[in-house]
Amino acid sequence: MSNLYGDYNQKIDYVFKVVLIGDSAVGKTQLLARFSRNQFNVDSKATIGVEFQTKTLIIDNKTVKAQIWDTAGQESGSMYDGSIWWGLGYRAVTSAYYRGAVGAMLVYDMTKRQSFDHMSRWLEELRGHADTNIVIMLIGNKCDLGTLRAVPTEDAQEFAQRENLFFMETSALESTNVETAFLTILTEIYRLISKKTLTANDEADPGGSSGLLKGTRIIVPNQDMNDKKGGCCG
C-alpha cells in the first residue's frame, strides 16, 4: 500500500465517480489525459459520447480509484419540432452520465468568455441531475494562454464563492495545477464520505480527516468560501 498508484489486484477501498462538464473545446479531455496518463495530445479530437479514465491513488492510507467521466461538450442541438434544447450534447446520456457521480469539474476556457458565462447553465443541469452532496470544482483551463485571458480570476472566484464551488486555474498543456485540482476534489470527496462513515460509526479516529484537512487547506485557494465545509476548512 505504500505505492501511490495501485496495481490491478490491489484492494480498492473507494471508487469515486467524477464527471467533467463544460463547453466544447475547453480542454476537458486534455485535463483528463494529463491527470490520468500525464499526456497532452496535440492531435486531440472532439469527444464522441462518453469516455472514461481511471487513476488509483492513496488518500489517507486508503486506496481510492478515481473514475473520471468525460463527455462531448456540444451545447445545443435541435429536436424534431425544430426547437432548441440545451445541455449535454446528447441528452440521452445525461442521466447515465450524472448517475452516481460524487464529484464534478466544471471546466471553462479562460480565453473564451462565453464558456465561462455558460457555467451557470452547466451548473443548473448538474444540480438538476446529480446528488445534492456532489462536490463541485470550477476550473479555468488554458492559463498558459495568459495574454489572451478573457475571464479575470476575480470574476471566476466571485462566481465560485456565490455558488459554493472550489475553484482553480489550470493548464493541461503546461501541467499547471492539474494534479492539484483532481487531488483537491478527490480529497474533499473522501473527507465527506469518511465523515459520513464516522458519524455512522459514532466514534472513530479523527486524526485521519484532520491530516486531510491540512492538504485541503494548502491546495484550495479559497477554501473559506465554502459554507458547507466551513466548519472543517476555515
Partner 1 sequence: GIHPSIRGEVWEFLLGCYDPKSTFEERDEIRQRRRAQYAEWKEECRQLFPLVGSGRFITAPVITDDGRPIQDPLVLLENNPENGVIVPPQDIGAASINNNAPKVTDKKVIQWMLTLHQIGLDVIRTDRTLVFYENKENLSKLWDILAVYARRDIDVGYGQGMSDLCSPMIILLNDEADSFWCFERLMRRLRGNFRCTDNTVGVEAQLNNLALITQVIDPKLHQHIEHIGGGDYLFAFRMLMVQFRREFSFCDSLYLWEMMWALEYDPNLFWLYEESEETSPEEAKARLKSIRHYGKYERENMRNGAKNAEEPPLPISIFLVASVLKEKSATLLQQARGLDDVVKILNDTNGNLDAKKACMAALKLHKKYLKKVAEHESNFATSSVLLLHCMCLSIFILNPNPVQPNLSR
Cell numbers for 151: 475571464
The yes or no reply on residue 208 touching partner 1 (CB under 8 A) is no
Least distance to partner 1, CB of residue 67, Å = 5
Check residue 96 for interaction with partner 1 (CB under 8 A): yes
Please provide the size of the chain in residues: 234
**DSSP class of residue 5?**
S
Return the DSSP state at 48.
-
Measured between alpha carbons, how far is 93 from 106 in angstroms, rounded to an integer? 17
Contact track, partner 1, 128-147, x by CB under 8 A: -------------------x
Dmax (CA) for the chain in angstroms is 58
For residue 100, the minimal CB distance to partner 1 (Å) is 8
- Number of residues engaging partner 1 in binding (CB under 8 A): 42
Q: Cα(55)–Cα(37) distance, rounded to whole angstroms? A: 9
Candidates 87-95, 159-167, 192-200, 216-224; binding stretch for partner 1 (CB under 8 A): 87-95
Binds partner 1 (CB under 8 A): choice among 75, 102, 138, 139:
75
Task: Please pick, from the candidates 13, 58, 113, 180, the single residue that binds partner 1 as defined by CB under 8 A.
Answer: 113
13, three cell numbers: 477501498
- 106: part of which helix (H) or strand (E)? strand 103-109
Closer by beta carbon to partner 1, 136 or else 151: 151
Q: Can residue 72 be called a binding residue for partner 1 (CB under 8 A)?
A: yes
The span from the CA of 3 to the CA of 206, in Å, is 24
Binder of partner 1 out of 38, 39, 91, 210 (CB under 8 A): 91
The residue among 181, 165, 65 whose CA lies nearest residue 120 is 165
What DSSP state is assigned to residue 8? T
Q: Where do contacts with partner 1 occur on this chain (CB under 8 A)?
A: 15, 24-25, 43-54, 67, 72, 74-80, 82-86, 89-93, 96, 111-114, 147-148, 150
